[in-house]
Amino acid sequence: MLIEYKGVVSLRGNILFFKTVKGIKYGEKVIIRTDKKIVTGKVSVLTQDITLIEILGDSSGINPQEVRIKFSGEPFKIPVSEGMLGRILDPFGNPLDGFGSILPEKFVDISGEAYNPSKRSYPKDILFTGISAVDGLSTLVKGQKLPIFAVSGVPTDQLVAQLVRQIKTGTEKRATVLCAVGIKYETANYLIEDISSGGNFPKTAVFLNLADEPPVNSLISVRSALTLSEFLAFEKGYDVVVVLYDITNYCDALREISSKRGEIPGRKGYPGYMYSDLASIYERAGILKGTKGSVTQIPVLTMPDDDITHPIPDLTGYITEGQIVLDRTLHQRGIYPPVNVLPSLSRLMNRAVSDIHKRWANQIYSAYARAKRIEMLASIVGESEISEIERSYLEFGRKFENFFVKQDPYQHRKLEETLSIGWDLLKTLPRSELVRLKKEDIEEFIK
């Protein structure tokens, strides 16, 4: 029988300050009871005198004088099951879609366990998104964590839905987990409708956290999604892709909770431990020796004020293995997806693609970078004042954006088609300019 304790010091939003009871543990699940309601909570900070308990649910109407606390003695766990695939779930793993309850196979601590670095396998297998700008030039690799850096005003919702709909792992036993963090109801409605219309939905689990929920739910939802992913990958043998959208909302929730705790803020008001907190999320990706499955992460974040040096993208870039950068200028010119390939990269790409793919990508990237420099020069001196070769680069740059980067939101391009478009575009340039290709490449593909 669990003992009920009194001892509330104060209540700030969803943070309950409680006199520390001997024997309790960090991360422990607690039951919070008043005369009118019962909610659950989680021990988030533990000191000698004061324990901070995050209320997981609606804290309205809670009178601190009436609060009674039961400490469960167990960490906060969620139910996990293969039956969660094809379902819409709340941050705690409970179904929201009205299709009945899900029989749990087990209950798992959402904090996860640290991966032993010596037990990790190096990622080397391509994951296909069907998006040329990604598959061709910033290739996603199984077990990688490759974030998307978005700016406000671009169709990030559409891109997230497309990724969830059509991403392929190359194996039949695959799953996708989407964690929608702190999003508006309209966005949630769009994502669910769009994703559920695709053939990938029976192998997709969606964790939904709306903007009007307590900030602690944002923190819980991400870890719940990763907990299910690890269960599917390392116990059931699935190759799992986790899409986390929007990490900026997660960090804002972290800042809000930190402020209520009375912690000293760091850069831009975010807590000083945000780096380690994000690392505890991103490092839950990879391939473990002796297991059949894998966890691949695609965190999506909206850069505040389009600032790539802002703490959120800055710290994310340190931890992850590359980034896909979205560009508002491309979007304004009607190009979808508006991927700016110049600042985008995948640090694991070269270990996964073939040698000819590497040379093709290097030549495409080099030519487009020069085209953008010439475009800037032509805007100053006029197109008539540049050389014939420079005009061929301008033509290449325009065709590259309109035929390679641009594609329909429901178009799934195979890698062969992506490479073929690139080879055709390189024919725009004189052969003397194709210095990053071998002679045999030019003879075979540039006819």
Which pLDDT does position 234 carry in this prediction?
Answer: 93
- Looking at the chain, how many residues does it have? 447
Give the domain CATH number at 15. 2.40.30.20
Cα–Cα distance for residue pair 297/311, rounded to 1 Å: 20
**151 shares its domain with 46:** no
Tell whether the model's pLDDT for residue 1 goes beyond 70.
Answer: no
Which pLDDT does position 414 carry in this prediction?
Answer: 94
Cα–Cα distance for residue pair 302/308, rounded to 1 Å: 10
Cα–Cα distance for residue pair 50/252, rounded to 1 Å: 25
**131 shares its domain with 207:** yes
Q: Average pLDDT in the 180-203 region? A: 92
Per-chain mean pLDDT for the chain: 91
Tell whether the model's pLDDT for residue 10 goes beyond 90.
Answer: no
More reliable by pLDDT, 46 or 318: 318
Q: pLDDT of 231-289, one tens digit each?
A: 999 999 999 999 999 999 999 999 998 888 888 888 899 999 999 999 999 999 999 99
Q: What residues make up the domain containing 218?
A: 78-350
Beta bridge partners of 39: 32
How deeply is 76 buried, as exposed, middle or buried, from its count of CB atoms within 10 A (0-12, 13-18, 19+)? buried
Q: Average pLDDT in the 54-60 region? A: 79
How deeply is 250 buried, as exposed, middle or buried, from its count of CB atoms within 10 A (0-12, 13-18, 19+)? buried
**314 shares its domain with 413:** no
3-state SS assignment for residue 11: strand
Q: Which two tokens stand for residue 272?
A: 């000083």
**98 shares its domain with 169:** yes
Which pLDDT does position 220 carry in this prediction?
Answer: 92
Backbone angles phi, psi at 326, to 5 degrees: -95, 150
- Determine how β-strand 204-210 pairs with β-strand 174-183: parallel
Q: Average pLDDT in the 200-210 region? A: 94
Nearest CA to 303 out of 247, 349, 346 is that of: 247
Q: Domain ends where: 310, 335, 350?
A: 350
Q: pLDDT of 376-428, one tens digit each?
A: 999 888 888 888 999 999 999 999 999 999 999 999 999 999 999 999 999 99
Q: Which two tokens stand for residue 54?
A: 């995050």
Domain total of the chain? 3
Using alpha carbons, list the distances in angstroms from residue 218 to 63, 137, 176, 225, 436: 24, 32, 19, 11, 46
Nearest CA to 13 out of 43, 50, 58 is that of: 58
Q: Domain ends where: 27, 49, 75?
A: 75
**390 shares its domain with 340:** no
Which pLDDT does position 111 carry in this prediction?
Answer: 85
47-65: b (≥16 Cβ within 10 Å) or e:
eeeebbbbbbbebeebeee
Where does the pLDDT of residue 225 fall: very low under 50, low under 70, confident under 90, or very high at 90 and above?
Answer: very high
Give the count of beta carbons closer than 10 Å to the beta carbon of residue 430.
11
Q: Which of 169-178, 250-259, 328-337, 371-380 has the lowest average pLDDT?
A: 169-178
**148 shares its domain with 290:** yes
Q: Across 77-142, where does the E strand assignment appear?
A: 77-80, 88-89, 106-109, 120-121, 126-127, 140-141
Which pLDDT does position 57 carry in this prediction?
Answer: 75
Which pLDDT does position 282 carry in this prediction?
Answer: 96
Q: Average pLDDT in the 312-319 region? A: 95
**148 shares its domain with 268:** yes
**241 shares its domain with 328:** yes
Cα–Cα distance for residue pair 192/431, rounded to 1 Å: 48
Question: Is the CB of residue 340 less than 8 Å from the CB of residue 127?
Answer: no
Nearest CA to 250 out of 185, 188, 316 is that of: 316
Tell whether the model's pLDDT for residue 199 goes beyond 80.
Answer: no
**84 shares its domain with 71:** no
Q: Which two tokens stand for residue 232?
A: 């599917």
Give the domain CATH number at 241. 3.40.50.12240
Sequence-ordered alpha helix ranges (H) in 5-151? 132-135
Sequence-ordered alpha helix ranges (H) in 16-142? 132-135
Cα–Cα distance for residue pair 102/7, rounded to 1 Å: 37
Where does the pLDDT of residue 114 fall: very low under 50, low under 70, confident under 90, or very high at 90 and above?
Answer: confident
Tell whether the model's pLDDT for residue 219 goes beyond 60.
Answer: yes
Q: Which two tokens stand for residue 197?
A: 């219309």
Q: pLDDT of 293-312, one tens digit each?
A: 999 999 999 999 999 999 99
- Determine how β-strand 28-33 pairs with β-strand 38-46: antiparallel
| pTM of the shown model | 0.93
More reliable by pLDDT, 399 or 214: 399
- Determine how β-strand 68-75 pairs with β-strand 4-5: antiparallel
Tell whether the model's pLDDT for residue 2 goes beyond 80.
Answer: no
3-state SS assignment for residue 255: helix
**15 shares its domain with 113:** no
Nearest CA to 349 out of 121, 125, 169 is that of: 125
**344 shares its domain with 360:** no
Which pLDDT does position 38 carry in this prediction?
Answer: 86
Q: Across 123-220, where does the E strand assignment appear?
A: 126-127, 140-141, 148-150, 174-183, 204-210
Q: Average pLDDT in the 19-43 region? A: 85
Peptide bond into 123 cis (omega under 30): no
Angle at which helices 274-282 and 247-261 cross, to 10°? 140
**118 shares its domain with 166:** yes
Q: Domain ends where: 350, 369, 384?
A: 350
